Structure 1
């Protein structure tokens, strides 16, 4: 009966020590009452308990206050005449006891099954609906597996039957040995009772451990919730940073718009100067006509000469004012009105001169009035110009204020970092103080323990004295024990039957545990399948978004026919689509590599399991067969993918040929635009031939030089500020790194101190348990001795009762002291555990806060890098401005040479119209090809979906094989090895993550190089345009050379993009490998898998960010080319008659 399995503890909340003491007292009272009733029943069956009852009754009458603590039961004193009654009733009592025990055991097992069912129902209540569908699919596979397990269990049952027979033979042999060793039965009974007491203690200890596990689970849940909150905070910080980045980009766009407005104002100024030249030429023609008149108008001519001198002076003043006014864009409408007025006045003057030649004074007055009106208009324009200058100055001040705000934000961030450092230092000081308090409390507990041990030694001395007096009585008792050997033999038989029942129950428990483990594995597989399903749904959403974007692009492409800028945007979209197709191919290859890695890991696990477990050979053979099938299927998939890659390469070659054709058409459009620009320049040369306009242009150059010098000064000032900021940030980063290293060292010290404190606490617990066991043994010995002493003569009853009273008082004292010590120790242990949990939580918060600080530092560094990039872009823009000045100088020298080529440009206009028609036709054919490419992409997406379904089925098969193999791994040594391996793997994964981050940095460097290359190429194209203006006679040869250069440069750009894509592939492969390792480690340690998954997700986000950056760079390059074409179109539209 004592060897039966211990019941599992109920998952109730922990009760207070006062309630437990109260319950124990109630149970003791009930047990003592039941013992009294049993004694009465035994007396009815033939036992002699009259003396005990009489004594007990007298005591109850005499001492009614001791109802809660009755006297111990006096043993049965047999008689020679009542042995037959005992033999008759003995078997009935034994059968009743066996039945009661079997019923109690069945009730306990039913209670365990109900409790496990409740726990499983609570766990599975949330995900029951989703699991039903998955379990329906896996039902057939589980039926086969269960059949195999039935066969295996039948074999095991046969082996168990053989072992049972052998054990029965051994039991018989032991029974014979027990008959020989009758004298040692007393010690055996004492040991048996000690074992029962130890089992009860172990059961209590197991209950306490399970309660502690429940608390740790709740703590873990709270920690996970706090981790989720921290992740949400980081996401919010990232959104804030993105909003700030958008504001900075909007500022850059505003600057670019201001520059474009400046260029537009320059163009409008040139147009105004040309119109002014036309007006002056008309005035000279009028003067020539007046000079050719009759001699009668000689006086008028002399007066006209005086008037011309006055006009020259007024023109100089007007030119000085006009140089200041020509910089603004709003004066175009006013100048046009002036031109209309001047033309009308010219016509009126001509009419007036023809009609009224003999009236020069009126003509002079009218001309003077017109000049005065013009001067007034010019003064008004000057005032408007000054107002606009004030507005521009206000815009500059607003930009400076925004820069000052950014600096203030940086200063506030630094202050926040310093505050967090002080908070960390305070927390470390508080932790050290708490550790000191814990040490003091431990020292006090050790002192109390020493005092308890001393009191225990004194009590043990008294007990030993009592034991010496009882040894003599024990000899007489041993003679009576020999008579009870017959009874012991019967008890041994019943014990063997109970042991057999116990073995059967243990087998049932093991089967239940196997079922529970299988159920847990099924739950883990279901969770993994749900995770994979969520990932596939996420990828499906991404693909749908891509398809919608492609459809939108196609709808916008339908309206495009003849614009070169839109053709370039189409080329950019095609390149993006080709990249997406390449990405999808790489993802398929990565999936194949993932499957191969999984197969390799399965083979490695199978090889390890062969060495440790001989029973797993059949499972390994089946897994190998399945692996061979999977290899064949993978080879077939590889062949299919090779065919797909060949077809895609053909499509890519066709697309490249079309791209080359489109590039040729774009180059022809560029040449035609260049020719049109030459036409514009000829119109400007015809309108600007006078010297005073050149002087005005020189003054404008001087003003531009002054503005450029101002800009250079501002750039140098900003560079100095940046250098100062970088030095300050580097110093702060160094101080922060030093503080972080100190914090890490202090954390390690704290961990070691906490481990030492836990070790001391565990040692104290072990010592307390040993003391409690010894006390219980001594109490049992007291019970035995008190029972033996009651068998003496009537003369020694008084002495025995006195000794029993003393023993009971000692017991009460021991119980009171033990309870008080237990209470103290439990309180101290609870306080230590609370301090331990607090220190753990603080130690876990510290690295999280350190990570937040590091992320903020990285953000600050990124902001500095962006500021550097802006400075570089400003420098390049200054260089471009200087180049434009140089090109303006060259244009002025070439203005006189292009007048003869106007007639040729008119012919080129007709040719340009024919070319535009051809281009519209090519665009229509290109749209048809785009529709064909979209269809092919749709077919590819369907094929990839089919392959994804096949891969899911294969993954499920592999997971089933893994579950079969995982059932064999149940040894503690392997678990320790696996923990060590997981630690090594975590280190390896951290190294790989560092390598992946370095690769991502390399990718960003490559992207930066590509961006610089595009900028340099843009400047080189501008220089090429200026050179084509000088060498118009060799237009055909230069066009061919430019086509070659463009093809070579496109190859370079494609090679660079390929390199970037290869780097991205390598980084993704590394990420996939890390993800595979994390999935393998998930079965072993779930906590480590969570951290690894978060890191892998961060690396994936970084890779996607690099991809987005590459696309942005390509879009910016396309936008730059589009802006060039738009500027050419504007210049052409402005120069049209």
Structure 2
């Protein structure tokens, strides 16, 4: 009796609830459980499982609704047969209607909450789309920066050519400086020649006075030498006797030492060791003293020998003095003739000295300009150091970006593994769904339409998810391309900096070599010509090095292009593989749905046949209906729990979306910093261009001045050749006149 009222209560409640459910299905839009999970690819499979599970629950509820309708029909028949129970049933109906209204209110509140959550999720999806648009805009900006970088590369090539021209101009300047120094040396040589002429005249007078003094000294030296020979002979005999005596003493001391050592070995046990060591020390000191005496005696012997050698040298010097006296008398006549010629040359040298003063002034002006060029080079070095620091900072940031990308790739690989696992689980769930659909007793036509709508929406969402995934892959590819381009530009900057440093070092080396060559040119004009040839060989070597470095840079660029093409091909292969997996998943899902629909149709036919048999077994199934109502209550509680789980999952999804937004903001900041640094690098490049233009102007001015100096040097060189030829002619004339003059001098002597 208790089970029957409960059954009646639930049947009446189901009878009243059925129209409201139908109205909700007709009036309200079908809501997809994965409406805003397109951003999070991992949550799609979980939500799909939840959706299928809820659909199965709804099918079961439909079967229960049909059974409740049958109970209502039965109750109506009983009501017609038993009119006494109408009052009782009316009370029960009122109570059931009140409970039903309360349940409806609660359900409406839950529906409103779910709609609000869905709206919030839609707003978040719109925000994500806006962010995607912003990222596309940033990618366009990056492409523009790439074009600008290509323009900058062309400008750098032009600047490289200009630098080569400047190097050539600097080399020309160095040549002009060497010629100037040669001219200065020639001027100094002329001045020294004039001074030497004056000194020769002074020495001529002095030598005549010295001759008489030397004759007297010669006689005195002969007497001193004789006395020294006598003394050395006596000292030599004494030294030989002392040496023989000392040698005998040394031999005796050595014998005594040996005997003492033997005695020490014999009586070492009996005699104290301290006394023997003291005796040994004294003997060693005596030996040292004797050795010192021997050395002093040998030195005395050497000094005596040295006196003999000195006497021989004095004799040789006297012979040379006599010869020089004769030569000076001969040269005196020649010099008187040359003095007149040199006086004429002095006047010409005064003119050349004026020209040399003018050239010295020009040299001072060039030195000031050279100091200015040095200051400009130092400034350029400082700017290069700054650019190197900026490059190091950019390299560190690129390394950080690479680490972040590797972390992102690891995460994506994990997601792919989870996706494959979820596919396997989905297949198992599909098998379970087929088993559960076989147990369904009835299905409603309107619910089938709702399921079709849900499937359409799911297909649309799947297509949207696929599109978003494609967009994500495209964005990742663009980011990788941009990073590759950044690496290329950094490598190019490194190559350009290395080239610039090598050029500066070569210039510094050339300057050092030029300075050394200038010092060497002070010795002779022949060495100057050799150094010029040496500089030319070095310049050829530097040019060959520059050409080899350019070839290496071209090879590096080709290698980088190959690497980028290979990375693109690999990315395309991965994308094709992912699309193939998606197609397989869609085909499997469609086949599962078709099989399920066929089985549902077959089950409906079977159920219609079974309905006729159910009429006979109606009384037996009353008890089963009460049990099914209890199961329905349990399932409702399970549904509420599942709704709570869905709410939690939506909250987790919102938290993940926020985290993704923060990550995107961080990436934006990083890109902005990179753009700012690119702008700073562009500014530095502009500043370097200005410095290069200033140096070019200074080099042009210096080249003009160098041309003027070369013209002056050529004129001076011609004049010196003319003078040198004249001097050679005079020397030949003097040599021809010399034999006749020597014969006269011999006759006079």
Q: Output the TM-score relative to the length of structure 2.
A: 0.27
Bigger radius of gyration among the two: 2
- If asked which structure has higher relative contact order (CA below 8 Å, sep 6+), I would say 2
- TM (normalized to structure 1)? 0.19
